[in-house]
Structure 1
Amino acid sequence: MDNSEQPQQIPVIIIGLNTGQENYEYSMRELAELVEANNMTVAKRLDQSLDRPNSATYFGSGKVDELRQVAAAEDVQVVVANDELSPSQLSNLASQTNTRVIDRTALIIEIFANRAQSREAKIQVQIAKLQYQLPRLQTADNVVLDQQSGGGGLANRGAGETKLEMDRRVITKQIAHLRHELNEIAKGEQTKRKQRDKTGIPTAALVGYTNAGKSTIMNRLVSQYGLAEHKQVFTKNMLFATLDTSVRQLNFPGNKRCLLSDTVGFVSKLPTHLVEAFKSTLAEVANADLLVEVIDYSDPHYQEMMKTTERTLAQIGIKDKPLLYVFNKADKTDFDYPTMEGDDRLVISSFDDSSIELLMKTIEKHLFKDYVTATMLVPFNAGQVVSYLNEHANILSTKYVSDGTELQLELPREDFQRYQQYVVD
């Protein structure tokens, strides 16, 4: 079999420090998945239990020696740590084990960089990358300078300090420039959101863990209820397949419409720099009338994933939003589907038509709960009002009487107030 087109998988050792955290095993399993998402393969795994990380090397000295021996025996040059390491921890661990050490934050940023497609996403990732690099310049630059020069002494040290200061200035300027560019893009998106807000169309946003099936659900809803079936969003069974927010219009029976957005997925220990950088993308979530949290029900750690989603939403300042829980991938479990538990919990499979129908009806119920049922009598000389209502309201019946057109209808509360003069008891 010819594997020449397959990218070579880089073998790595994953390492983790168990300080007594409840979700340690889960986070290590997730680290292995992140490694695989970055075209790497786990050759070995090393764990240590400590009260706190070693300030110099993350692991204790004995475990560092073991790591060095395992890396040499397995001929592995890359180590991936389950936490964000300090600059000195990265440098010391790398030098004492003769490996390249990547921490969890750098790994996730690297995955985001490989997945980014739009200009906005690329800028957001680049900002996060530069912010991560900024405090880590000194260690890296000193090593490079020592290797480049055969001399020693004060002259070398002075040149290193000068280069460090210069690099910091360059990166700081780059970040400022990229933020300005990102703000310009954000202004354009904000203008689009304001235009959508003026239409009064309610909005829902899909949120949740990466690879929970949000984009698949989005495509199924667009296919059955959207204006244009070709406006599908990218889906693939991998972490962080979607980094850009996509917004699509869905049509319900009775002239009801909503906007649905698909957003970047979350993961535990999502780097702060990335959360900050992606705030403009996540603005669709902040402005939504309803959050639809998609959960991979087939994953044994789904409850931990829900906690991660809750923490991430709080981190970007989103609280007290109406929330609909959608337990997806039930076809991979023994649970019955589609089923409804209370008003805000659904068990579905995104590949099941009846599941999508139930989800759509539930979204409709939540978004249009403030609709008012009324009877209006509109005079014949106000034909433009009848035209508007026929287009924007759910007309239950139409009757022509001597005084005008009598309509029984469901309509948004703001339209009900706008045409209050035509309401009859």
Structure 2
Amino acid sequence: MEEYKIEERKAVLVGVQFPDNKDFSLDMEELAGLCEALSIRPVTSLSQCLAREDSASFIGSGKVEEVREAVLFHEANLVIFQNPLSPSQLHNLTKALPCEVLDRTQLILQIFSERAKTKEAKMQVKYATLQYMLPRLVGLRENLSRQGGASGSLSNRGSGEKQIELDKRKIQEEMAILRRELKKQEEVRKVKRQKRDKSAIPRVALVGYTNAGKSSLMNALLTISKENQAEGVEEKDMLFATLDTTIRRIVQEKGEEFLLADTVGFTRSLPDKLLDAFHSTLEEAVEADLILQVVDYSDENYQKHMDATLDTLKKLEAGHIPMLYVMNKCDKVLPLEELPKLRGEKLYISVKEKLGLKELVEKISQVLSAGLKQVNILLPYTASAYENRIRSEGKLLSLSYEEDGILISAKVPAALEAQLKNYSISE
């Protein structure tokens, strides 16, 4: 039987450091990680320092020739730029180099395309991809116009421009359809959130740099949940393994519960348009009562990862939400006997070694309880269903069954407090 060998994808990485970029080496290191997420092998890396980019090729003709020689020497079939390329720069580089040319945004889009599982995530990826393509068609049309003008062939120019215009119109129509479909999905989520709001169960969102261990933490918390009936989430040691928001119910020993949402991982310099495309996926973070920022403490750049995550949360207007910092993977850098440990709002744990999970749940409970309202009520037996809600959604302080009803003192969420006002009694 004849065997078909899939050609290995080998890439030359290219990056330009500008005067205001103090983390260039980190950016290039992360670019290599993005490549690995797509099974692309970086074969060499070329960089240079510039005061400003070259308008035609971003790196200048001399550097383009150096890149071309590197491609031929290493037999690479990809050139990947760390920096974003304009439509004309991408077009010029594709003409000058003997292989496919991508920039960081295109690379992330390809990863997103592979990782998307649900219908909504696939639509979001498609929309972001079309949004990226659209101005590049305009740039290609401008290049065709210049080529036609130089040759004097008006018919060729008109034909090329017409095709670009047709492609542009087709993309715009497809984007309009996707916008409508995504709007419908947004309405569905809105209804689901309203139902959760009525239940008043607190919501906790896992956020953090990609590959920090958010999905692993969710699965670990599910295993210690009192009612562990929910399916876990996929764990992979790769960038952007999670694109779809997953929500699970965590029930504590005393019956208190909260909803836990796993969200897409963040990264440095995530393009705003990609962030916009996945805004709906990140809504769970924006709507949460508490955010858990999961941090890979073993990574020497963990502080910069935290800064990038906080910056993204601010862009999402979620910077005001209470936050706990879950410093994960501490088993790699700290003695196990020191774990877990709490310093302020930072809890140092190891999901892999199952150290600190109980302490994390207790800390979550403390923070959520701080936002609860005190109620003292006499609940008629005809409204006894509220007793279970108080137990699951709030914190029961005292309860006694009296002749005329259930006497309860508790701390509950504001939404539930409003529903219990008719049963309120003076202390």
DSSP-derived class of the 2:269 partner? coil
Measure, in 1, the Cα distance between the counterparts of 2:112 and 2:171. Answer: 20
Verify the 8 A CA contact 1:13 1:45 in the aligned structure 2. yes
Measure, in 1, the Cα distance between the counterparts of 2:64 and 2:96. Answer: 7
Q: Structure 2 vs 1, CA of residues 92 and 395 (structure 1 numbering), >3 Å: closer, same or farther?
A: closer
Measure, in 1, the Cα distance between the counterparts of 2:289 and 2:58. Answer: 44
**What residue number does 1:365 align with?**
366
Deviation at 1:71, TM superposition (A): 1.4
Q: Structure 2 vs 1, CA of residues 66 and 310 (structure 1 numbering), >3 Å: closer, same or farther?
A: same
Verify the 8 A CA contact 2:349 2:356 in the aligned structure 1. yes
After superposition, the C-alpha distances for 1:83-135 in whole angstroms (9 at most, x for unaligned) are 11011111222222323210001010011001111110100000000011111
Q: Structure 2 vs 1, CA of residues 190 and 6 (structure 1 numbering), >3 Å: closer, same or farther?
A: farther
Amino acid at match of 1:15: V
Measure, in 2, the Cα distance between the counterparts of 1:311 and 1:421. Answer: 44
**What residue number does 1:392 align with?**
390
Runs (5+) with no aligned partner, structure 1: none
The alignment's C-alpha RMSD in Å is 2.7
Measure, in 1, the Cα distance between the counterparts of 2:66 and 2:142. Answer: 27
Equivalent residue runs for 1:25-36 within 5 Å: 25-36=25-36
**What residue number does 2:291 align with?**
291
**What residue number does 2:279 align with?**
279
Measure, in 2, the Cα distance between the counterparts of 1:354 and 1:330. Answer: 9
Measure, in 2, the Cα distance between the counterparts of 1:66 and 1:355. Answer: 51
Measure, in 1, the Cα distance between the counterparts of 2:252 and 2:411. Answer: 13
**What residue number does 2:343 align with?**
341
Verify the 8 A CA contact 2:243 2:264 in the aligned structure 1. yes
Equivalent residue runs for 1:193-208 within 5 Å: 193-208=193-208
Equivalent residue runs for 1:162-241 within 5 Å: 162-225=162-225, 227-241=227-241
Q: Structure 2 vs 1, CA of residues 422 and 182 (structure 1 numbering), >3 Å: closer, same or farther?
A: closer
Amino acid at match of 2:239: L
Measure, in 1, the Cα distance between the counterparts of 2:315 and 2:4. Answer: 41
**What residue number does 1:269 align with?**
269
Residue 117 of structure 2 is aligned to residue 113 of structure 1: no
The size of the alignment, in residue pairs, is: 415
Verify the 8 A CA contact 1:7 1:39 in the aligned structure 2. no
Deviation at 1:227, TM superposition (A): 3.5
Verify the 8 A CA contact 1:115 1:243 in the aligned structure 2. yes
Residue 353 of structure 2 is aligned to residue 352 of structure 1: yes
Verify the 8 A CA contact 1:254 1:395 in the aligned structure 2. no
DSSP-derived class of the 1:55 partner? coil
**What residue number does 2:302 align with?**
302
Equivalent residue runs for 1:63-78 within 5 Å: 63-78=63-78
Q: Percent identity?
A: 38
Measure, in 2, the Cα distance between the counterparts of 1:240 and 1:385. Answer: 47
After superposition, the C-alpha distances for 1:119-178 in whole angstroms (9 at most, x for unaligned) are 1010000000001111111455799999xxxx9821111101111111111101110011
Amino acid at match of 1:363: I
**What residue number does 1:17 align with?**
16
**What residue number does 1:255 align with?**
255
DSSP-derived class of the 1:275 partner? helix
Verify the 8 A CA contact 2:243 2:263 in the aligned structure 1. yes
After superposition, the C-alpha distances for 1:278-316 in whole angstroms (9 at most, x for unaligned) are 111111111111111111111111111111111212222
Deviation at 1:388, TM superposition (A): 2.4
132-141 or 413-422, larger mean C-alpha shift: 413-422
Q: Structure 2 vs 1, CA of residues 332 and 229 (structure 1 numbering), >3 Å: closer, same or farther?
A: farther
Q: Structure 2 vs 1, CA of residues 401 and 307 (structure 1 numbering), >3 Å: closer, same or farther?
A: closer
**What residue number does 2:85 align with?**
85
DSSP-derived class of the 2:41 partner? strand
Deviation at 1:235, TM superposition (A): 1.2
Verify the 8 A CA contact 2:87 2:135 in the aligned structure 1. yes
Q: Structure 2 vs 1, CA of residues 9 and 334 (structure 1 numbering), >3 Å: closer, same or farther?
A: farther
Verify the 8 A CA contact 2:295 2:302 in the aligned structure 1. yes
Deviation at 1:69, TM superposition (A): 1.4
Q: Structure 2 vs 1, CA of residues 115 and 405 (structure 1 numbering), >3 Å: closer, same or farther?
A: closer
Equivalent residue runs for 1:399-410 within 5 Å: 399=400, 406-407=407-408, 409-410=410-411
DSSP-derived class of the 1:368 partner? helix
Measure, in 1, the Cα distance between the counterparts of 2:83 and 2:121. Answer: 24
Deviation at 1:208, TM superposition (A): 0.8
Residue 119 of structure 2 is aligned to residue 131 of structure 1: no
Measure, in 2, the Cα distance between the counterparts of 1:315 and 1:422. Answer: 41
Measure, in 1, the Cα distance between the counterparts of 2:414 and 2:176. Answer: 44
Q: Structure 2 vs 1, CA of residues 222 and 127 (structure 1 numbering), >3 Å: closer, same or farther?
A: same
DSSP-derived class of the 1:353 partner? coil
Amino acid at match of 2:98: N
Measure, in 2, the Cα distance between the counterparts of 1:19 and 1:62. Answer: 18
Verify the 8 A CA contact 2:298 2:329 in the aligned structure 1. yes
Q: Structure 2 vs 1, CA of residues 6 and 25 (structure 1 numbering), >3 Å: closer, same or farther?
A: farther
Measure, in 1, the Cα distance between the counterparts of 2:343 and 2:408. Answer: 36
After superposition, the C-alpha distances for 1:221-245 in whole angstroms (9 at most, x for unaligned) are 1221164434211111111111000
**What residue number does 2:103 align with?**
103
Measure, in 1, the Cα distance between the counterparts of 2:5 and 2:211. Answer: 22
Measure, in 2, the Cα distance between the counterparts of 1:15 and 1:280. Answer: 33
Verify the 8 A CA contact 1:202 1:367 in the aligned structure 2. yes
DSSP-derived class of the 2:55 partner? coil
